[in-house]
Structure 1
Amino acid sequence: MESIDRKIINLLAEDARRSLASIGEVVGLSASAVNERIRRLVAIGAIRRFTVDVDPAALDLPITAFVLVALNYDAGEDAFKAAIKAHPAVLECHHVTGGWSYMLKIRTADLGGIEAFLADLKAGRFVARSETIIALSTVCERGFAGMEG
């Protein structure tokens, strides 16, 4: 990937609504050339989607928790993945190493939301065991950290 492409990605990661002309000024290209590069980056999968950074408290979802899950493989891993992808509380799901199968990041309005989420997992018989870690505060959270180039 060219350094100009990396710069474009970094600029979009900072502000996905940044104008093509503004990006072009930084990277030394016309707006149309920037647009073409962005289309190409999307086409090859380097840019998967454009998103917004929302304040969870503004959506009444101030509780962030991380749930470590050891799967009950009798329930089926594909069924677990489908349920997790469909669950509105789940922000992230990572297959991990060590004593756990998956690590989930969830957001809820209150502690009862965490209990409800865990009840949903138990109802699906997906969980052999779990551990929940509640975040007291968030020091840093990024959708993309940027990259050198």
Structure 2
Amino acid sequence: MAAYIAAMDTVDKKITALLAEDARRSLADIGEAVGLSPSAVNERIRRLNASGAIKRFTVDADHAALGLGVTAFVLVGLDYDAGEEAFKAFAAAHPSVAECHHVTGGWSYLLKVRLADLGGVERFLGELKAQHFLARSETMIALSTAVERCFTPAEV
């Protein structure tokens, strides 16, 4: 698996970038862009998927249109008596957590959460407190989003 990821060539990177722009793009369209037949593109996508280089195909949704108009970033200082693995399991299972990053500095984790309203932020923080995960926290509310990407392809 990892051997194929390390051996990704410029064609694989270009295919990945094209799929990141539009995962519904046809094999023929991708093939035309990279100079391969649709069946060769399909084989490369299959190998990229099997290797883990492509994790999933997804939808870029408008969160506000889905009723999730508030994005908050929560810096978490873990109470390690609660257990780091339990915290990570909580974050992975919680439907409001879009991202969870282990970070350097004075904090343990950074969470990106999407919620309907500010009351949802308060309820989410209450859940973290009820689970005894927090030694301390700091929450920032995004006023707007200037740039957001699911994937930024390297120079291809």
TM class, shorter-length: over 0.9
Rounded to whole Å, the distance in 1 between the matches of 2:12 and 2:101 is 27
**In the alignment, is residue 14 of structure 1 matched against residue 21 of structure 2?**
yes
Residues 1-149 of structure 1 correspond to what in structure 2 (within 5 A)?
Answer: 1-149=8-156
Report the TM-score, using the length of structure 2 for normalisation: 0.94
Rounded to whole Å, the distance in 1 between the matches of 2:97 and 2:56 is 18
CA offset at residue 116 of structure 1?
0.6
Identity of aligned residues (%): 71
Rounded to whole Å, the distance in 2 between the matches of 1:118 and 1:15 is 35
* Per-residue CA distance 1:102-142 (angstroms, 9 max, x = gap): 00000100000000100000010000000000000000100
Report the TM-score, using the length of structure 1 for normalisation: 0.99
Rounded to whole Å, the distance in 2 between the matches of 1:2 and 1:145 is 17
Gaps of 5+ in 2: 1-7
Q: Which secondary structure state, in structure 2, belongs to the residue aligned with residue 92 of structure 1?
A: strand
Q: Which amino acid aligns with 2:112?
A: K
CA offset at residue 146 of structure 1?
1.3
Q: How many positions carry a matched residue from both structures?
A: 149
